[in-house]
Amino acid sequence: MNHMELRNYAENEIHDLDGNVSLLVYDFTQDDALLAFDVNRKLVSASMIKTPILMAALEQVRQGKLSLEQPIPVPCSEVLEDTEVFNCGQKSCPLEELLTWMIINSDNTATNILIELLGMDALNEYFRELELRSTVLERKMLDWAAIRAGRNNYTSAKDQLAVFSSLYHKSVLTPELCDLALNILSRQRDFSIALRYLCAPELTFAHKTGGLDHLNHDAGIFSMPGHDYFFGCFVTDALSDSEKNPVAKRLIGRLSKAVYNYYKNSDENRQGS
């Protein structure tokens, strides 16, 4: 599959979906966009907002205002029913552990505690400092009353590229804190979206997923020998054929595999020439 064939494949997949798709694939090795569809669209972020929250917390560590080892209170009032990590009665949790659970399990209790710790206004100010034009935090996780009142969290494909690009190039925080963020992101446990059709031992990744009803996203850095690239696909308003295996997840998985195959085939063709 050459570049034109890949683009045509992506266009057809997006056209055939009953929903809205933003797709951005950026080749860090070539410093160029491989695919770009509707990349500036402001969309509900779901758990994609957690990556810039991770960076904001680590910025506070860089400034010496927080430390990774310090215990953070875990009030019972913040423990949500969907948590798989926290129990009411747990007194505190080290900051680094909170950050890790927020990403690898996408734990909403950890996220809300961090939002309370860092402050919503301060988080949005940090997002502006990163020049994220569509990323904004207006509510805590699972705050359905806020959504009914018209407040939500937003991002865009272009903003997510900016987030991961800054970590990749280590243009934020410190090199050590960027490595910590990428290490946490590399342990993210949701393999049901961009990784669902990939079985490639040479492929490594540092990414974050997000999902709500009729909404699925996945974005991050994917690396294989000779290629480092950002893959971000964001699907909204897609009808699902089942709760556990929605159309959107399969679309993102197919597009992710097509991009991986493009790079793999380009290497094989170059070696065979």
Task: Parse the chain into domains and list their residue ranges.
Answer: 3-268
Tell me the C-alpha distance between 147 and 144, whole Å: 5
Q: Are 33 and 26 in contact (CB under 8 A)?
A: yes
What is the CATH architecture of 3-268? Answer: 3-Layer(aba) Sandwich (3.40)
Q: Are 152 and 138 in contact (CB under 8 A)?
A: yes
Give the burial string for 37-66 (b: 16+ CB within 10 Å, else e): bbbebebbbbbbbbbbbbbbbbbbbeeeeb
- What confidence score (pLDDT) does residue 186 get? 98
- What confidence score (pLDDT) does residue 227 get? 96
Beta bridge partners of 33: 26
Q: Are 177 and 62 in contact (CB under 8 A)?
A: yes
- What confidence score (pLDDT) does residue 213 get? 84
Tell me the C-alpha distance between 160 and 134, whole Å: 10
Which stretches of the chain drop beneath a pLDDT of 50? 273
Q: 12: part of which helix (H) or strand (E)?
A: helix 3-16
- What confidence score (pLDDT) does residue 240 get? 63
Global pTM?
Answer: 0.95
- What confidence score (pLDDT) does residue 273 get? 44
- What confidence score (pLDDT) does residue 242 get? 53
Q: Are 118 and 58 in contact (CB under 8 A)?
A: no
Nearest Cα to Cα of residue 109 among 63, 78, 137? 78
- What confidence score (pLDDT) does residue 88 get? 84
- What confidence score (pLDDT) does residue 246 get? 85
Half-sphere exposure of 177 (CA within 13 A, CB side): 21
- What confidence score (pLDDT) does residue 270 get? 60
- What confidence score (pLDDT) does residue 197 get? 97
For 88-145, write each residue's pLDDT tens digit.
888 999 999 999 999 999 999 999 999 999 999 999 999 999 999 999 999 999 999 9
Measured CA distances, 178 to 21, 185, 248, 259 (Å): 29, 11, 30, 25
For 5-16, write each residue's pLDDT tens digit.
999 999 999 999
